[in-house]
Structure 1
Amino acid sequence: MTDRHTDPHKDLHSEHGALRGEHPGRAADPVIKVVDLAWLEFAKPDLDRAEAFARDFGFAVVERTPDVLRLRGALPGTACLVIRKGTGNGFVGPAFQAADAADLTRLARALDAEVADLEGGGRHVTAYTPSGLRVQVVHGAPHHPGLELQRPLAYNTGGLLTRINETQRPARAPALVERLGHVVLSSTVFRRDLDWFLDHLGLIVSDFLYLDGQRGRGPTMAFIRCDRGSEPADHHTLAMHLGPVTGYVHSAYQVADLDALAAGGEYLKDRGYVRSWGIGRHIQGSQIFDYWRDPDRLLLEHFTDGDRFDSALEPGWAAMSASGLAQWGPPATADFLGNRPSPALLRDAVAALRADNEIDLPRLLALAKAMGS
């Protein structure tokens, strides 16, 4: 494996955790190894409003009925969002792609679950993490051919001239979503959920974050990628952190380049949508990001230029802090961090302290300090 002691930016990482007896970031013998996210599923009360935002955000519509809205990106693949009509507004769960049909049988046997038919074609296994998060693993779902992509702009940089006698005039238009990149989840039993994903789905950790002064208690956030061997994978397909509630935090969708992201943001602003945080560049994963709230207050990210790692790279370690989320850009907002004081936040914190989980008062105070730093 590659140790990031050789990384020119090694000041962003402490020594490799396994050398100190910390979490190794991968399972020795996982049940299967998923290859990507397939889609995310949500329930929303107003599909007309959901479709309007989806088109403005840059999705293409695969299917629309009175009861379901299926959305896709422009690259070949499955639908990347499934939104069903429901009485509430919430996250149902992620679906991951299995490498082959035999993996579904292997996973079902390990979980004492069933392999069942998917709506529209293909097969799936449904499981639940220790915190109760619903997870599907699928194979053979309908695969859609690619659509016309938004062409990245040609840049003149230094002495390299790629554009002569031509201007740059990117239109204020929806940033064309190319694909689903990752989902971020919160868990009150972070360590148990983390180990479940590594043990059962073969995911591996790219970066760990820990609470300042509490490193001995282990990580409290992980950026987790698919293990494709020598084939590079996104720095994180799943990110997860310890929190007073379990559930969805945000999801991220790749666009062509910075201009597509920025012009798409201007379009969203002109349409009256609310930017949560951006534009900036992350540290873990390196993506250029721009976060937006949909009409139901769910958080979605446009991103471009993310890191790709193969299976050789070992986890990095860093202290968890709001200022450590970006290399450049505006400070992380209270809206993005979810630390805006409210009765609901207080209720969640009190409930978490009373429940059987990994939250206690020192950790809760350290989390609050980290997200305010």
Structure 2
Amino acid sequence: MEVTESSVKANHGASVPDTSASREQISQAHWLQSRGIKAEERVQLTRLSHMRYQHPDLDVLSDFMLNFGMTVAKRTESEVWFRGYGVDQYVYYATKGPKKFLGGVFAIDSKEEFEKALKVPGALPVQKLSEDPGGGQMVTIVDPDGFPFNVIFGQETGEDASTPATTKLRANYPHEKQRLREFNRFERGPAAVHKVGHFGYSTERFEELLSFYTSHFNIVPTDLLYMEHDGHRMDVTTFMHLDLGQNHTDHHSFFLGASPIGSHVHHCSFEVFDYDTQHLGHQWLASKGYRSVWGVGRHILGSQIFDYWWDPAGNMVEHYTDGDLVNEDTPIGILPAGHESLAIWGPEVPLAFLQ
């Protein structure tokens, strides 16, 4: 094909309204109504607090997490709590033992809502977290696929810690020069983690889990991806956020993907400050010999810049920055599933990420 001036167009990017980001959309209220979900009966989660895992070697894990950008909040012979520089007392908890996923943890603000969580099917006895930084109590709810889902109440919040990673840089554009007689200089090191952003599952019971989480908790889809089967649409992936009314929240705190080869946790993700922080963190982890999964690139749904890694036990963990924010007025995007919906730029998606 002959290349002409009219056939080659420069790339383009823009921040567009959520109401026009997808060709096909449905309101959150209509989707909840169509599934018979009564919003007032759901447990009102406030935010994603931290992740919980079991690891065979806490020393090896600690080395990785320090290079990943966390700090140690507390450690004993059999447990370690890692924190970021946000308000959470810790963003990752690990206990010693064979490799095991122990669930994500959502915080709740009121005793009334916590008591509602205790009545969700699959709820186990309350666990006192008296030895954990910030204290509190937690209930683990085993979902229909056997995944542990945790709700914490009564934990004291911390304070934002100061960190060199939170210096906002000025950018110079062709027709807008913000940085005058100032030079950008950086120090190499880990990408400091701010908070945990999201986690999710690959599951053989997609529809059952979608119904379970959206009916029992204030979790709603931001995007639903489907595949065509015998002339009918079948939802196979969803990115979901906390329904906090008019308050804005992350594009997704939780996600589900249909899996034909077995159910398992897919990955958990942690926010870092900006693009440079993330790239410097990528170089730092690579220099230490850790294994990259996929990245650095830019997602389409959620818009995040992503960078996925394997931890020493073989769990997938992610750095992300620059994610979308939504609220109850954000319509649910309805899109066809496919590799092309995963990223607008970055390396080719590896098979390991899709499993």
Query: Normalising by structure 1, what TM-score?
Result: 0.83
Which residue does 1:252 correspond to in 2? 269
2:301 corresponds, among 284, 289, 304, to 284
Q: State the distance in 2 between where 1:127 and 1:10 align.
A: 34
Q: State the distance in 1 between where 2:246 and 2:26 align.
A: 21
2:103 corresponds, among 93, 111, 120, to 93
2:114 corresponds, among 95, 104, 114, to 104
Note the C-alpha offset of 1:292: 1.1
Question: Which amino acid is the alignment partner of residue 155 of structure 1?
Answer: A
Structure 2 counterparts to residues 59-138 of structure 1, below 5 A: 59-86=70-97, 88-111=98-121, 114-120=125-131, 121-138=135-152
Note the C-alpha offset of 1:249: 0.6
Q: State the distance in 1 between where 2:221 and 2:208 align.
A: 14
How many residues are paired up? 332
Distance 1:125 1:326, change over 3 A: same
Distance 1:65 1:163, change over 3 A: same
Question: Which amino acid is the alignment partner of residue 10 of structure 1?
Answer: S
Note the C-alpha offset of 1:234: 0.4
Note the C-alpha offset of 1:259: 0.3
Residues 85-113 of structure 1, C-alpha deviations (whole Å, 9 max, x = no match) = 00x21211111111312111122134475
- Quick check: 287-296 or 255-264, which moved more? 287-296
Unaligned runs of 5+ in 2: 1-15
Q: State the distance in 1 between where 2:130 and 2:25 align.
A: 47
Q: State the distance in 2 between where 1:36 and 1:289 align.
A: 21
Note the C-alpha offset of 1:181: 0.3
Question: Which amino acid is the alignment partner of residue 240 of structure 1?
Answer: L
Aligned residues: CA RMSD: 2.5
- Give 1 or 2: higher helix fraction: 1
For the Cα contact (< 8 Å) 1:188–1:246, is it kept in 2? yes
- Quick check: 214-223 or 291-300, which moved more? 214-223
Q: State the distance in 1 between where 2:68 and 2:280 align.
A: 11
Residues 222-254 of structure 1, C-alpha deviations (whole Å, 9 max, x = no match) = 101001111101000001111132221111111
Q: State the distance in 2 between where 1:34 and 1:257 align.
A: 27
Query: Normalising by structure 2, what TM-score?
Result: 0.87
Question: Which amino acid is the alignment partner of residue 74 of structure 1?
Answer: Y
Residues 157-193 of structure 1, C-alpha deviations (whole Å, 9 max, x = no match) = 2332222222222222100100000002111111111
* 2:41 equivalent to 1:27: no
1:308 corresponds, among 318, 322, 325, to 325
1:144 corresponds, among 147, 158, 171, to 158
* 2:191 equivalent to 1:179: no
Note the C-alpha offset of 1:74: 0.5
Structure 2 counterparts to residues 1-373 of structure 1, below 5 A: 7-11=19-23, 14-16=24-26, 27-29=37-39, 30-86=41-97, 88-111=98-121, 114-120=125-131, 121-149=135-163, 150=165, 151-213=167-229, 216-243=232-259, 244-338=261-355
- Quick check: 158-167 or 253-262, which moved more? 158-167
For the Cα contact (< 8 Å) 1:27–1:202, is it kept in 2? no
Distance 1:38 1:24, change over 3 A: farther
Note the C-alpha offset of 1:324: 1.3
Q: State the distance in 2 between where 1:5 and 1:104 align.
A: 35
